Chain A
Amino acid sequence: MKLKATIEHKPNIPTASMADIAFLLIIFFMLTITFEVDKTQVTLPKTTLRYEIPKQSAYVSIDPNGRIRVSDGTEQSALVSAADEVLSMAAGVIAMDPQKVFVVKAHGDVDWLKVDEVIDALKRAKVRDVYLLSDQVTVDDL
């Protein structure tokens, strides 16, 4: 009996489109990446209402020990010694861009007095739009 010669197919994974997929992923990351200007670790207060904060907003953060850091939204946040320094920074930022949005990123357990000093400094610097950074209220919190 004559056996039919079998043609052997080498198994292979089609990789021709791998680079396309990889570049699509790169484009996705490049479009969605936001460079964090403030890396202060805080436990944010929780709210039901939360609105998207404009990109490149200036940041004022207050850590659990009451230390204040400020960032104009383009550079990494820097420690300041008193709320008066927030006033001078905010006044400088507002002089350059009167519509600049400021974000207050404060630890939920800091005394109101500390946040009050920061908000007062922003008011005096003629800042109009402030966002209080918050986490979403969950069912467990209710």
Chain B
Amino acid sequence: MKLDRDRPDDEIPTSSMADIAFLLIVFFMVTTTFTATRGLDFALPEDDDDPPVVEKEESVLVEIMPNGELIVDQDPMGLHEIIPYLKPKLERNPKKPVIIRPDIATPYRFMVQVYDELRQWEDYGLEQPINISVPTQREIQSFWY
């Protein structure tokens, strides 16, 4: 019996595999966009029709003017002076609300700056996070007195 020794081996052609793989890599490299995926968390309180009344005297009001100027409890103040000013008050009452109230024409970045600063309470030796509140215009018109 004559055996057929010339039969080619069965194999999968892989010579173009690297080409295909590199084509896919190029696709991913072209379509990948590096975007900012980090930010400041800003937990919203429950939208209550009858929120707890905060006495003005109990809270600290941080007003932000359109030019970025800060008025804390009626006094102009620098960004890094806020927590040192708040510190003795917060040591007496750690739950003391700090209300951030930007003017409607204030650029958004100034509000974020102040919020970011108040979130860095640990750097100033405080033991608890600051109770920050940012009322919206609707809430100010509805509940502010």
List chain A positions with a Cβ less than 8 A from chain B: 15, 18-19, 22-23, 25-26, 29-30, 32-34, 36, 44-53, 62, 103-104, 106-117, 119-120, 122-124, 126-136
Contacts and interface: CB of A to CB of B under 8 A. Distances in A.
B41 A51 contact: yes
B36 A126 contact: no
Given A26-B21, A120-B137, A131 B39 contact: yes
Pick the 10 closest A-B CB pairs, nearest first.
Answer: A22-B21, A108-B109, A29-B28, A45-B109, A50-B38, A113-B104, A120-B136, A45-B112, A47-B116, A131-B39
B17 interface: yes
B24 A49 contact: no
A131 B41 contact: yes
B39 A103 contact: yes
Interface stretch (B4-12, B42-50, B54-62, B84-92): B42-50
B44 A132 contact: no
B28 A112 contact: no
A106 to B, nearest CB: 5
A103 B44 CA distance: 12
A110 B108 contact: yes
Given A120-B136, A130-B41, A113 B25 contact: no
Nearest to A54: B37
Interface bin, chain B: 35 or more
A107 B40 CA distance: 15
24 contacts: A22-B22, A22-B25, A25-B25, A26-B28, A29-B25, A29-B32, A33-B28, A33-B31, A33-B32, A44-B36, A49-B40, A49-B119, A49-B120, A51-B39, A51-B40, A113-B104, A115-B108, A119-B44, A120-B139, A123-B44, A130-B41, A131-B39, A131-B41, A135-B36
B62 to A, nearest CB: 13
B53 interface: no
Contacts of B43: 128-130
A128 B47 CA distance: 10
Contacts of B115: 132
A47 B115 CA distance: 9
A109 B108 contact: yes
Interface in B96-141: 102-113, 115-116, 119-120, 134, 136-139
B67 interface: no
A50 B40 contact: yes
Nearest to A107: B108
